Chain A
Amino acid sequence: MELQEPVRPAPGQVWRMEKAQLQALLDALQRRGYIVIGPRIQDGAIVYDEIQRLADLPIGWTDEQEKGHYRLKPRRDEAFFGYAVGPHSWKRFLHPPVLSLGRARRNGQGFEWIPTADPPPRYAFLGVRACELHAITILDRVFTAGPYVDPIYQARREAIFLIAVQCTVAGGTCFCASMGTGPKAPPGADLILTELPDVFVVEIGTERGAQLMAEIPCAPAAEADRSAVEAALEETARSIGRKLDTTDLPGLLYRNLEHPRWEEVAQRCLTCGNCTMVCPTCFCFTVEDISDLAGTQAERVRRWDSCFTTAFTYTAGRPIRQSAKARYRQWLTHKLASWWDQFGTSGCVGCGRCITWCPVGIDLTEEVAAIRQTDGERR
């Protein structure tokens, strides 16, 4: 059988691209007016920030992660994406940590909102992991699939160009295989890249992804490229060290709301909220109203908030979740149980950030396993 070789990239096809051509891809995105956000090294960690050229990428670096531990280490090769995930997630660009909802000025006794017409930023995300694609889909559900649609999230989300890069190394704390969220990227990205030693293999997800690839020197992938990708993903999956048994996870947690383990974990938990800040799906925010000293201008801001603060549940004079136990339980049961009731999906994608960035190394997979082991115990 003779296959007709495609002359132009099209959705569904797989192409190969020399690694240096990633610069051409950056250029093509920038020509389209995108601000490219990708991995770069800052303050000893790989974070997501604006990328101009390939040299901005953490080439030759990897991240060593364990419970409460994160270090950058040089690799033996020059891999562009040879790390797992850092403290940032794409959430910060779709649902920014601080965002103005509007400014108002005093107007006699009253006030009026000053119209703003800032268009949403046009971001291209480069280096989105499989788990992170899932996280973005989860945020889509939170902000756009309910009875109300958040117009701010929606506008930002619609402007995004998504370039996934599948993991060829497993992070020290991740467990995407347990959550069914990786390492293979789900559909949804414009392009899905896999980094092999010499080339990028590029799966084309969308028409605009195809159009972008048409501007970049590349060639259809060979069968060997595809099997190299499969082998790399299998190796990644194999090297994932953590597991979370997800069997009836909501049921397990709902029937163990009074389990002694919550007290036990609360002895260790500092309620710092790091886990909620680094989590790619934690979406809670607070609304703050501020004014200038003269009281003539006011602004309404939304700011990431955390269910680990006592102020989070401040109702009619006092907080409802006062103990650390209640706050940790809220977070974990929300992620793994009530999220299903609210949005039809898990709130956890197994990225492992909450484990790495917990200052005391609390590992949710261990907490769940402990509860499962003594299912039904009550204090």
Chain B
Amino acid sequence: MISQAIAPSASDLFLPRPFQVTGVRRETSDTITLRLRPPDGSAFSFRPGQFNMLYLFGIGEVPISISGVHPRTRDLEHTVRAVGYVTRALARLRKGHIVGVRGPFGHGWPLEEARGQDILILAGGIGLAPLRPALQYLLAHRSDYEQIVLLYGSRTPADLLYQLELERWRGRLDLHVFVTVDRGDEAWRGHIGVVTTLLPLAERLLDLRRAFVLMCGPEVMMRVAARELEDRGVPPERIFLSLERNMKCAVGFCGHCQFGPLFICRDGPVFPLPRVRPLLEVREL
């Protein structure tokens, strides 16, 4: 999955390649996961945390983080929530359809740097999507890391992504998974509350002063969580966030994804906290 190939060549910088949809999995009422295969059947190399631009013929293109590979077929996977014109069309794709892919772009999670350390993964809502490839990588290289804890917050039990995989992860002895929802239902016997309320549980399993934290979710959640993590002793340079803006060109030319001096597409989407903390405090930046 991790390879040296991190960027497309200049010639196909702006034009997506047609990939085949080899499967569609419904995750929730408004979210699906697409399974995609390159035209020549070759493997798609990327780093966990990177994103692709997904294109529909004549309709448009949107940035979507890579959500890993299919556990069996190793096909590229993208989890898409239908929120806009293009994503709603993406959510209607069926097996056999073609979708354009441009990428991978951006910097991923610091998985090499975190080797030998405790890992805390904090996901909120669809924020689990860019963290799934990191988790897949960590589990494939399990012995290279110490404790791994996943804290995952969701709106309701019906909004949980990757439910089968989540069950498999929960069943593992070498991975601690805690899931919480904002609102439970009758069948829900688990945690209820924001994801940060799970931090004391993580703290019992790993040493926060030495852990790497990988985090993705709504910006408010990350802002609050970053403060709490720091209060609990996580060194800020070990807290990594994946940010979202409307990437259009994905290579730092079009200006849309600027966040202060940063281009989210080119300098991110994953950033260490100290690089973005002052920017997160500014409203409507």
A contact set with B: CB distance below 8 Å: 101-102, 104, 106, 109-113, 142-143, 146-151, 257-258, 283-292, 295, 297-298, 300, 302, 305, 307, 312-317, 320-323, 325-326, 330, 333-334, 337-338, 341-342
List the one stretch of B5-13, B175-183, B202-210 in contact with chain A: B5-13
Which residues of B sit under 8 angstroms from A297, Cβ to Cβ?
A: 58
Min CB gap B91→A, angstroms? 14
- B246 and A287 within 8 A (CB): no
Set A110, A151, A330: member contacting B13, Cβ < 8 A: A151
Given the known inter-chain contacts A314-B246, A338-B258, please indicate yes or no for A320 contacting B284, CB distance below 8 A: yes
Which residues of A sit under 8 angstroms from B263, Cβ to Cβ?
A: 342
A302 to B255 alpha-carbon distance, docked (Å): 12
Secondary structure call for the B interface: loop
The answer to the question of B283 belonging to the interface, with a C-beta cut-off of 8 Å to chain A, is yes
- A313 and B57 within 8 A (CB): no
B contact set with A: CB distance below 8 Å: 7, 10-11, 13-15, 18, 20, 55-61, 81, 83-84, 96-98, 100, 244-246, 248-249, 251-256, 258, 260-261, 263, 266, 282-285
- A286 and B15 within 8 A (CB): no
Closest to A250 in B: B261
Closest to A258 in B: B282
A113 to B61 alpha-carbon distance, docked (Å): 15
Given the known inter-chain contacts A291-B57, A315-B245, A338-B261, please indicate yes or no for A109 contacting B253, CB distance below 8 A: no
Min CB gap B52→A, angstroms? 15
- A291 and B14 within 8 A (CB): no
A145 to B258 alpha-carbon distance, docked (Å): 18
Min CB gap A119→B, angstroms? 16
Secondary structure call for the A interface: mixed
- A291 and B84 within 8 A (CB): no
Given the known inter-chain contacts A111-B18, A322-B284, please indicate yes or no for A148 contacting B61, CB distance below 8 A: no
Min CB gap B50→A, angstroms? 14
> Residue among B56, B251, B284 with the most chain A CB within 10 A?
B284
> Residue among B20, B253, B266 with the most chain A CB within 10 A?
B253
- B261 and A283 within 8 A (CB): no
Which residues of B sit under 8 angstroms from A290, Cβ to Cβ?
A: 58
Beyond the given pairs A285-B253, A307-B258, 13 more chain A to chain B contacts, judged by CB atoms under 8 angstroms and listed by A's residue number, are A104-B58, A110-B18, A111-B18, A146-B266, A151-B10, A151-B13, A283-B255, A290-B58, A291-B59, A292-B58, A305-B254, A313-B256, A342-B261
- B96 and A109 within 8 A (CB): yes
Min CB gap A260→B, angstroms? 14
- A334 and B258 within 8 A (CB): yes
- B249 and A287 within 8 A (CB): yes
Which residues of A sit under 8 angstroms from B10, Cβ to Cβ?
A: 148-149, 151
- B266 and A295 within 8 A (CB): no
- A286 and B248 within 8 A (CB): yes
